[in-house]
């Protein structure tokens, strides 16, 4: 029997049992794809990350990310949580841990900055690995059916529902009110139908709903549903928030901007989260999206394999 260490951290929160839980396998050497998928399913979190030596020794590590059903090329909270956990160590695969890290992932290279307060590691900031990719528009009727809402609940002034991505695609839709956001409920049958009409790679049809906070256009409340991936609702979705931030700033009239945004998620499911974003736009094109957040350690142990 082999014993494999794991750690669990809550990401995008300063409070234990808030935010989005993440399981991290800090040394996944010897684990094959099937076993990684089984471990992710056993934890049952929205994602589990597996850390391996980098292909290029100039990088910090290779990070593979699995949902309960599949491997994904990129995700926000696994990167932030993995960096937070690794930053507690003196070395990673014989390499000294510094304030900067770089992870090799399927979506590309993810640059990381360790966040500290009074010398203590508090979280991490990551740069989305890809530029904003805009996919097709999605019918309002499809969105409202999946979320158990009405057409009046969808706000169309800024943009129609559509697929956006900075490494992992989501259908993003703005809602007309916080009340409508609280009312949203995922309908599994409608998600299955939607996935046949608008198939998304990796984890299937995933719906990210948001609404700007009253009086503060740079602060949003959001919810993310991905029931086809066995994630009925996600407490904090950094990759979707990053894609939304890039799209939102793209739609702004300014040609050049450096905008700070905040996404609050998980409130409706009792795991409040805060995702901090910074978007840099030059010449009308978003050049960089930074996703940052705090983390709290929760548990550690060993898997018996």
Hey, which residues are catalytic here?
47
- From first CA to last CA, the distance across the chain in angstroms is 6
Q: In whole angstroms, what is the distance from residue 83 CA to residue 112 CA?
A: 7
To the nearest 10 degrees (0 to 180), the angle between helices 188-197 and 140-147 is 150
* Three-state DSSP state, 172: strand
Tell me how far apart the alpha carbons of residues 81 and 101 are, in angstroms, rounded to a whole number. Answer: 13
Nearest partner of 70 among 101, 38, 100, judged by Cα: 38
52 close to 59: Cβ distance less than 8 angstroms: no
**Residue 156 in tokens:** 């169309």
Task: Give the Cβ contact number of residue 2 at 10 Å.
Answer: 9
H or E stretch including 273? Answer: strand 273-282
The two structure tokens encoding residue 145: 């059916």
């Amino acid at each position: 029997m082999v014993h494999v260490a794991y750690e669990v951290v809550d990401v995008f929160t300063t409070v234990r049992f808030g935010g989005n839980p993440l399981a991290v396998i800090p040394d996944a050497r010897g684990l094959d794809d099937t076993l990684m998928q089984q471990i992710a399913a056993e934890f049952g979190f929205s994602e589990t990350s597996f850390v391996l030596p980098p292909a290029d020794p100039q990088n910090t590590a290779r990070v593979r990310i699995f949902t309960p059903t599949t491997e994904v090329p990129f995700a926000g909270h696994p990167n932030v949580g993995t960096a937070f956990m690794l930053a507690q160590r003196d070395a990673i695969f014989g390499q000294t841990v510094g304030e900067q890290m770089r992870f090799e992932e399927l979506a590309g290279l993810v640059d990381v900055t360790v966040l500290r307060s009074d010398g203590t590691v508090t979280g991490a900031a990551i740069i989305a690995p890809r530029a904003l990719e805009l996919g097709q528009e999605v019918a309002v009727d499809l969105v409202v059916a999946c979320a158990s809402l009405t057409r009046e609940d969808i706000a169309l002034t800024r943009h129609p529902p559509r697929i956006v991505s900075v490494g992992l695609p989501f259908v993003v839709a703005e809602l007309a009110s916080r009340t409508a956001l609280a009312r949203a409920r995922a309908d599994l049958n409608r998600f299955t139908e939607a996935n046949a009409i608008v198939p998304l790679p990796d984890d299937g049809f995933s719906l990210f709903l948001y609404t700007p906070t009253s009086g503060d256009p740079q602060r949003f409340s959001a919810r993310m549903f991905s029931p086809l991936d066995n994630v009925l609702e996600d407490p904090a979705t950094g990759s979707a928030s990053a894609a939304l931030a890039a799209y939102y700033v793209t739609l702004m009239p300014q040609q050049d901007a450096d905008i700070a945004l905040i996404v609050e998620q998980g409130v409706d499911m009792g795991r409040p989260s805060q995702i901090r974003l910074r978007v840099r736009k030059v010449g009308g094109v978003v050049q960089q999206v930074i996703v940052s957040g705090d983390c709290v350690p929760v548990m550690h142990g060993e898997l018996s394999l």
